[in-house]
A and B are shown apart, each in its own frame.
Chain A
Amino acid sequence: MDECTRTALVQRTLALAGKSGLEVLVTSQQSALTRFTHNAIHQNVDASDATIRVRAILGKQTGVATTNRTDDVGLREVVTQAQRLANFAPPSGVEPALVGPQSPSPVAAASTTPVDAERRASVARAIFDVAEEHGAWAAGYVTTSASGLTLANTAGLQASFDATDSGANVKMNGVAATGFAERYSIDAALLDGRSLGERAAEKVRAGGTPTAVDPGAWTVIFEPAAFGELIAHLTDHFSAQTYIEGSSFLTGVLGTRVFGENVTIRDDYTHALNPGQSFDYEGTPTPPLALIERGVAQSIVTDSHYARQLHCANTGHALPAPNAYGPQAMHVVVEGGEKSTQQLIAETKRGILVTRLWYVRTVDKRATIVTGMTRDGTLLIEHGRITGGVRNMRFNQSIAELMRDCELSSEQQRTGGYAYSLVVPALKVPRFTFTSATAF
């Protein structure tokens, strides 16, 4: 659905506002994903949808209704239902304010590369070719999407954003070892199946026949996919909601040094590896923001509600209404360091290189302790060289502690899970706690 169509939908919906304040968010998405295992495609999907989300404001009362019906009846029903819910809502302490007109901002992060099932299959085929050359088999996916949103309200705001995205990930399976590689880009033309397959296959070759090592404290280098899993568990700590409520490790320590002086973390939608929209879901601009600056806790992210509550600036990090999660940093970037990942490995006398983590979960939120497993490329480093694979291990570790004494690689990479998309370098830490081992 293009911007003109979305804008027309928004205007038809706003025209039904009557005496209530109304905020209308139209989102559209077409996404396709080709999934493969054992060097063949076993799932192939393509879905499209468009939704109209209406937030009705009656004084201090708010209601939200959503539909994917775009005809007149559907629009009338969704407005009526949002207003009806608002009528039932107990009044909040303060009347929610709608954001007024904003200055023009970037309207797209999109490529024009055409994508279809054949293109996705060709990327997959290139991965299969590499797998077969190495006597291995690949599992993974190739995905492409095009999405757009238009946000408008009865206070005169109107903002739109269009995006394309693509990604591929590969788990390469050898006789005894496995390897992993991923790539994401707004331009599907940059997805190179052969290159991805070779990176994953190299992990399998390096892993050989993994051997057991003792759990305990190890020097560990996390590649971006693994480090990203850890950082994803910190992002909620930057929310004004957890900060105020006391479950964030930043509660009470803003302005003080919490990480090593070499650590800078920003929220930055302009980063070339992970461009995004320049405004939040209330329409407030989201300028790049330093969260951690040279180790010092600099900022938390807010929306209109929490900015008012904290008497501070609105940083523009509202999620779509209704939002029980509070404001969130959606474009986290960890700045890189001076040395390449290869240098970090070369300077390691004995340690472990972790390619990927799995099932990372919070054990103690306030203490930032998480547990999880290594997977798909856990390699032993001895005297500056990778000397073989080790069996996977479970860890229990405070992330904040790690970041107080660490090195960061110079290369950054976009990494993603189903709930996040981040830009991070590799991370080296002198002491990381593995607590148990597996037989594989």
Chain B
Amino acid sequence: MEYSGLAARALDTAVARGATYADIRFEETRAERIEIRSGAVVTLSDTRSDGHGIRAFVEGAWGFAASPDRSDAALDATAARAVAIARAGAAIATHRFAIEPTGRHTAVYATPVDRDPDTIAIGDRIALLVEAERALHSATSIAVGRAWIDLWHAEKFFFSTTGSNIVQTIRQSGSGLWALAVADGDAQDRTYPGDIGFYQGGGWEVIERAHLLDNAARIGEEAHQLLSAPQCPSATTDLILGSSQVSLQIHESCGHAAELDRIMGWEENFSGTSFLRVEDVGSLQYGSERVNIVIDNLLPHGMATAAFDDEGTPCGSSDVIRNGLLAGFESSHDTAAAIGAASSACVRAQSWEHVPMIRMCNLNLLPGDRPFDALFADVSDGVYMESNRSWSIDDHRLNFQFGCEIAWEVKNGKRGRLLKNPTYAGVTPQFWKSCDAIADADSWVAWGTPNCGKGEPMQTGRTTQAASPARFRNVEVGVGYDG
């Protein structure tokens, strides 16, 4: 659909009503989902949503209004509402949170797609999941199996009063497996490939990359074995995390901590703040020298990969942690300007009806220098954990406790017996400082998280934390089972 005429009308209305800057984002989205649960199709759905959201800047305050109606009258009304809302905030403002964006960009971008999901018959998609779910029942204790596919497609059209005209096609896909084993009052679950599946930017090739059929029987068997496995002991010991759990660790203890809106108190009442301060850049030792964490919003297969963010800033890459030192933040136009920096283009909105805000985008731990197996070599007594089951961290992003689905003892450099209910706990900088080894690029995976929650009204963000397995020394494990 051609939106430039509609955009011009809405932006003219906003300016006529008093906005000194305005932008409008039209979106046409489609979400297809199939889910099999214990042999039955519990979800076979196709959801489409079209609409527009308008941001208006008036006297130092923002207003945002959204509507699905593209009529002239509705566009005028939405623009007028955005201006009126901004003015209501400005009327009681004691200080400004924002300055007008100035960028002007014209571009067209599309997520690279190797295999268009539309070329895969729905019957074939269902058959893949039915077979994979059936294979999960590889042991008698498997009470529930789940297998699912998500296919997402968004057409985004961004226009601003500074002259930006940006068209982007974003494609993302994902799939996963879940098995629940139940016996003797215990319930143990296993997921594959990660606890929330395997999500990346791209088309059907992302589903193929997950290799569901090759792994379903093993996942079912592991869930069954966990029922009779010993409890993960309580100890302070060496900990090796699989790459999907490292991804979660980055997400919770680095990604959210380095969001500049949190640091400035914009999320204070809900998602919380951060232990980081603006003045910590260049001086705060966040982790060991091996720890390098970067924003890369052009990452191949990244869930947040795009050419521009949702306020029209070009995407790129920048450091958050360089050789263990805090180096920068995830930021927006407003927050970056407040500290005299450039936006890191980490602004996204869940949909046309959500206001753009700072989101963790692609935030990756750079790979290390040794093969995965070498992480075990000099561990005499430790634990290897895989796949997240529980995650909790305080509202300053310091005190965390995470649990995994499965673990193995590590004795004298070898993986030993299975352990159930593994958990570990720590404090963010101390934990990252204990990182003494990161596996190399051969085991580096771009793990997408499609359900990151933040903001009020709550928005779901899609983010990627690429990671390799990593090793941490002297970590408290086996917490949480005395309560």
Residues of A within 8 A of B (CB): 31-35, 37-51, 62-69, 78, 81-82, 85-86, 88-90, 92-93, 116-118, 120-121, 124-125, 128, 139-141, 143, 169-171, 173, 180, 245-247, 322-324, 358-366, 369, 371-373, 375, 392, 394-398, 401, 418, 433, 435-440
Contacts and interface: CB of A to CB of B under 8 A. Distances in A.
B396 A44 contact: no
B122 interface: yes
17 contacts: A32-B85, A40-B93, A40-B94, A42-B97, A43-B266, A44-B61, A46-B65, A47-B66, A48-B68, A65-B45, A117-B88, A322-B33, A324-B35, A324-B146, A371-B390, A373-B394, A398-B483
Given A40-B94, A48-B353, 18 more contacts: A41-B61, A46-B66, A47-B67, A49-B353, A64-B43, A64-B44, A69-B48, A88-B44, A93-B40, A170-B269, A359-B392, A360-B392, A361-B392, A371-B392, A372-B392, A392-B394, A433-B483, A435-B479
Contacts of B89: 34, 40-42, 44, 117, 121
Interface string B57-69: 0000111111110
Interface in B139-166: 143-144, 146
Contacts of A143: 456-457
Contacts of A375: 272, 394-395
Contacts of A373: 392-395, 399
Given A45-B355, A358-B272, A366-B186, A124 B399 contact: no
Contacts of B458: 418
A245 B93 contact: no
Contact of A245 (B144, B185, B453): B144
B99 interface: no
A436 B92 contact: no
B440 interface: no
A246 B87 CA distance: 54
B143 A173 contact: no
Given A120-B88, A361-B392, A433-B482, A247 B180 contact: yes
Given A66-B45, A67-B49, A47 B61 contact: no
A92 B425 CA distance: 44
Contacts of A88: 44, 122-123, 126
A322 B43 contact: yes
B81 interface: yes
Contacts of B393: 359, 373
A396 B269 contact: no
A440 to B, nearest CB: 6
Interface in B297-328: none
Contacts of A41: 61, 88-89, 92-93
Nearest to B46: A65
B311 to A, nearest CB: 13
Contacts of B143: 245-246
B453 to A, nearest CB: 7
Given A64-B43, A433-B483, A121 B398 contact: no
Nearest to B95: A40
Most buried by B among A45, A89, A324, A435: A45
Interface string B91-103: 1111101000000
A69 B50 contact: yes
B43 A369 contact: no
Interface residues of B, number: 84
B112 interface: no
Contacts of A86: 44
A325 to B, nearest CB: 9
B480 A45 contact: no
B86 interface: yes
B49 A118 contact: no
Given A33-B456, A117-B88, A171 B268 contact: yes
A250 to B, nearest CB: 12
A46 B44 contact: no
Contacts of A40: 89, 92-95, 97
Nearest to B41: A89
A100 B359 CA distance: 45
Nearest to B56: A44
B399 A394 contact: yes
Given A361-B391, A371-B480, A89 B126 contact: yes
Nearest to B47: A66
Most buried by A among B48, B81, B87, B355: B48
A364 B421 contact: yes
Given A140-B269, A392-B394, A363 B423 contact: yes
Contact of B44 (A63, A245, A362): A63
Contacts of B293: none
B394 A68 contact: no
Contacts of B354: 47
B109 interface: no
Most buried by A among B82, B355, B423: B355
9 nearest A-B pairs in the assembled complex, by CB-CB distance: A246-B182, A117-B88, A139-B268, A41-B89, A322-B43, A396-B483, A433-B483, A47-B66, A396-B480
B73 to A, nearest CB: 14
B390 A362 contact: yes
A69 B49 CA distance: 8
Contact of A418 (B403, B453, B481): B453
A139 B269 contact: yes
B390 A361 contact: yes
B101 to A, nearest CB: 16
B483 A121 contact: no
Most buried by B among A170, A245, A363, A398: A363
Contacts of A369: 480-481, 483
Given A45-B65, A363-B423, A81 B398 contact: no
Given A37-B268, A90-B41, A364-B421, A47 B396 contact: no
Contacts of A360: 392
B443 to A, nearest CB: 27
